[in-house]
Structure 1
Amino acid sequence: MKTIRQISCNVLVVILLASCMGNNYLPAATALEGGREFIDACLKGDFDKAAFYMINDSVNTEDLLKIKRDYNLKPSDEKYSYSGASIIINADETINDSTHIINYKNSYDKVARKVKVIKRNDRWLVDFKYTFDGNL
C-alpha cells in the first residue's frame, strides 16, 4: 500500500512540474479569439505568446522580430500605455470558412490596422505578413 501511495505522489509531482513548464496558452476556438490574443500579446510585449497565435513561417517570424525590436526601443511610459490599451474591433470580415480579416485599433494610438487570421489544423492563427503587404 505504501508503494502505491509513493508512486501516486511521484506521478502527481511529475504532472505538476510538467504543467508549470512551457506555456499555458490555449488554442483559439474562433478567428476573432485568435486575432485578439495575438494583438493583445503584441500590445503587452509578450512576443512568445504572440508567436503562439501566429503562423510559423520565415516572413511572419521576421516581421514579429521587427515589431519586438521596435517595441523594446519604446520608452517605458509608452510600453505601459500600450499594455493597458483596449482592443477595438472595427470589423471582422469573413473571407471564407477558414479566413477572416480583422480590422481593429487600440485605445492608445487609435491607428486602424488589419490582421489576417487563418484556420490551420483546427487552430486559428494570424498570418502577420498580411498586415504589411495586404495580399490575401
Structure 2
Amino acid sequence: MGVVLLRRRAGLEGFNDAAACDHAVRALGATVRFADDADMAVDTARVTIGFTDGGTLAEEVTTSHAGLARPMPDSDIEHKLGEICRHGQSGIDAAPLIEALWSLDGCADVSRMRALAAPAAS
C-alpha cells in the first residue's frame, strides 16, 4: 500500500525489487493498517488517513476502475497486457496476441493462441 500512496499508481513496478527495498515505501507501508469490512462490496474501498495532530482525511470509492459497474476499457486491457509482456521480459509481442484475442470468437484453431502467448525461444 505504501507504494500506491507514494507513487499514485498500482502498476507492476510497485512489486519489483527496487520498490520492495525503497526506504520511503517501506516506512510508509509500516504505518498502514488494513481492515476488511464485510458490509462493503468487493469492488469498493475506503481509505482513512490519520494525522499526528488528530485530524483525518477519508476517501471512498464505490465504483472502482475495472470493477463490475465500470469495466476496464479495451484500450486499458491492451495496455496492461503489453506491460505484462514487457515486464516479464518474455519476448512476447503483445500486438499479435491482442489481435488474436479480440478475434477469438471467429477463430477456427485456437492452438495459435498458445504460440502467440509462449515466451520466445532462447
Q: Place the TM-score, normalised by the shorter chain, in its bin.
A: under 0.3
TM-score normalised by structure 1 residue count: 0.23
TM-score normalised by structure 2 residue count: 0.24
- Greater helix content: 1
- Greater strand content: 1
